Amino acid sequence: MNKDKNEQQKIRPHIITDEINGSSLLIIDDDDDLRNLLVRKFMKKGFNVDDAHDVSVAKQKLLNNKYDLIILDLMMVPESGYVLFQFLIDNPQLKWISLIVLSGSSDVNDKIKCLQLGADDYVTKPFQFEEVNARVCRILTRAKEFEQLAFYDPLTGVFNRRYLENQMMIEIQRLERIPANMCISVFDIDRFKLINDRFGHSVGDIILQGLTAEVKKQLRQSDLLARYGGEEFIIFMPNTNEEDATLILDRILKEIRQLPLAKVGNENITITFSAGVAQYETDMTIKEWVDRADQLLYLAKDKGRNRVINWTDSNL
Amino acid sequence: MSNNDGKNKVYVYIDEDLVDLIPGYMTNRKKDIEKILKALTKDDFEQIQLIGHSMKGNGSGYGFDQISEIGYFIEIAAKNKDKVAIEQQLGALEDYLNKVVVIYE
């Protein structure tokens, strides 16, 4: 064993935390030997690893699967790795994926260009695997932290409006390729101001947390719950028609009515909500779609609250 | 990570998880030599540059730092259309492949 070996053993391998363990990587490189090596090494580290030998295969895989990070070679045939940047930027589903360029080019212009195009890091070949792995772990950890800040509501832990609208955009684009029904429901706690006024905002917060926890239990894995404003929430239901969406909301409302969400002294606090259900129609914008559901929500309020109204039954 | 015993062998220490990938990797480098020799007969320096570039990129990842180094010099020589330098590096690569002994750990 020579000196270099001893030096290398002093370096502590990067720890893969639970937060990023199982993250999915896509390795894009036209060198079979290099790809095989990276796949093997990253799998051993606990990642789910997929690979592509050219840009065209990578594009297909990116459209059909979900990845947390891409490792991209630049000098590939027939298409250069540069082609992939614009593809990622143009797609709302893909533009958030972290990307590390792993290239044989040490030209500073390539490095600058890649970082300007959206790469998170640039590593030159030849490389030491542990260095690449450390960079992957750092970027994934940071991305998870940002994701938490950028896409989640801190009080309830459900998704926020930004994430919801991004997902709605993705599904609308998918619908152009694969026609299907999808619905949203906007719902709002009835007389929430009175609860806050009578019991205080801390109790109001407990109710918001209890409500979202209970609604999440009632939803399917494909549904998405987001906080849209103060006490207003949206449930986004892909592959669901208006009738089924209404049934789901009716069932949730029935459960919520009976369930105490907070207790003050000896008093159990229960709530009701009003909801509007709207199915997506071709060429609707996200705003038009949400506005329609909102209109139905206010109709439900006008009709006495504590109910779910859909577009078909509303006579609007 | 390599260690030359000063005579005929070069010892390289490699992660045992790569044991099944190494024979294929070595075979591919021998194929690279054949491809470069063929490309030399056609003055196809672009092809030689690509092969050198790949070799430079993949060698160190496996633990063969010397292959990365030879790949680097082949890439540069091809860029300069320097046949003599390319042939010298091919000789160095052939010599290295004959001497290298992989120790899995």
Contacts of A129 in chain B (CB under 8 A): 61
Q: Are residues A200 and A310 in the same domain?
A: yes
Q: Does A7 have pLDDT greater than 90?
A: no
Contacts of A40 in chain B (CB under 8 A): 17-18, 21
Closest partner residue to A75 (CB to CB) among B15, B53, B68 is B53
Q: Does A9 have pLDDT greater than 70?
A: no
pLDDT tens per residue, range A45-78: 999 999 999 999 999 999 999 999 999 999 898 9
Closest partner residue to A34 (CB to CB) among B3, B24, B57 is B57
Q: Are residues A143 and A168 in the same domain?
A: no
Would you state the pLDDT for residue B4? 52
Cβ neighbours for A194, distance < 8 A, ≥ 6 positions apart: none
Q: Are residues A282 and A179 in the same domain?
A: yes
> What dihedral do alpha carbons A144, A166, A300, A269 form, nearest 10°?
0
pLDDT tens per residue, range A99-123: 999 999 999 999 999 999 999 999 9
pLDDT tens per residue, range B4-21: 555 689 999 998 989 999
Q: Does A213 have pLDDT greater than 50?
A: yes
Q: Are residues A111 and A180 in the same domain?
A: no
- Give, in order, the Cα–Cα distances in Å from A113 to each of A8, A85, A107, B43: 32, 11, 10, 32
Q: Point out the least confidently predicted range of A6-15, A35-44, B86-95.
A: A6-15
**CATH code for the domain in which residue A101 is found:** 3.40.50.2300
Q: Are residues A183 and A286 in the same domain?
A: yes
DSSP letter (8 states) at residue A25:
E
Domain count, chain A: 2
Residue A118 Ramachandran class (φ > 0 left, ψ -120 to 50 alpha, else beta): left
Q: Are residues A212 and A251 in the same domain?
A: yes
pLDDT tens per residue, range A237-257: 999 999 999 999 999 999 999
Name the residue range of residue A101's domain.
3-151
Would you state the pLDDT for residue A1? 39
Pick the last residue of a domain from A100, A132, A151: A151
Answer yes or no: do A2 and B53 touch at CB < 8 A: no
Q: Point out the least confidently predicted range of A147-151, A158-162, A294-298, B62-66.
A: A147-151
Q: Does A43 have pLDDT greater than 50?
A: yes
Average pLDDT for A270-298: 96
Among A199, A220, A217, residue whose Cα is nearest residue A270 = A199
DSSP letter (8 states) at residue A305:
S
Distance from the Cα of B84 to chain A's closest Cα (Å) equals 24
Contact pairs from chain A to chain B, CB under 8 Å: 66
Distance from the Cα of A3 to chain B's closest Cα (Å) equals 10
Among A103, A135, A105, A100, residue whose Cα is nearest residue A118 = A100
pLDDT tens per residue, range B31-55: 999 999 999 999 999 999 999 999 9
Average pLDDT for A289-297: 97
Does the annotation mark A231 as catalytic? yes
Pick the last residue of a domain from A116, A151, A186: A151
Q: Are residues A75 and A210 in the same domain?
A: no
User: The sheet that has B10-14: what strands, in order across it?
Assistant: B2-4, B10-14, B100-104
pLDDT tens per residue, range A250-277: 999 999 999 999 999 999 999 999 999 9
**CATH code for the domain in which residue A273 is found:** 3.30.70.270
Q: Are residues A15 and A68 in the same domain?
A: yes
Q: Are residues A292 and A194 in the same domain?
A: yes
Token match 């390319």: residue? B86
pLDDT tens per residue, range A73-102: 998 989 999 999 999 998 888 988 999 999
Enter the tokens of residue A175: 């619908």
Average pLDDT for A7-27: 69
Distance from the Cα of B23 to chain A's closest Cα (Å) equals 11
Beta strands at A232-238 and A159-160: parallel, antiparallel or unpaired: unpaired
Q: What percent of chain B has pLDDT over 90?
A: 88
Angle made by CA atoms A187, A193, A198, in degrees to the nearest 5 = 135
Would you state the pLDDT for residue A178? 86
- The 10 Å Cβ neighbour count of residue A61 is 15
Cβ neighbours for B36, distance < 8 A, ≥ 6 positions apart: B48, B51, B74, B86, B90
User: DSSP secondary structure string, B8-52?
Assistant: S-EEEEE-GGGTTTHHHHHHHHHHHHHHHHHHHHTT-HHHHHHHH
Please list the residues that pair with A269 across neighbouring strands: A262
Helix (H) or strand (E) holding A199: helix A192-199
Contact indicator for A77, B46 with CB cutoff of 8 Å: no
Q: Are residues A168 and A256 in the same domain?
A: yes
Model ipTM value: 0.88
Q: Are residues A186 and A107 in the same domain?
A: no
pLDDT grade for A160, boundaries at 50, 70 and 90? very high
Would you state the pLDDT for residue A2? 45
Beta strands at A273-279 and B2-4: parallel, antiparallel or unpaired: unpaired
Enter the tokens of residue B41: 């007969």
Pick the last residue of a domain from A118, A151, A184: A151
Q: How is domain B2-104 classified at the architecture level of CATH? A: Up-down Bundle (1.20)
Domain positions in chain B are 2-104
Q: Does A80 touch chain B (CB under 8 A)?
A: no
Q: Does B1 have pLDDT greater than 60?
A: no
Q: Does A164 have pLDDT greater than 90?
A: yes
Average pLDDT for A274-285: 95
Q: Are residues A129 and A214 in the same domain?
A: no
Contacts of B59 in chain A (CB under 8 A): 126
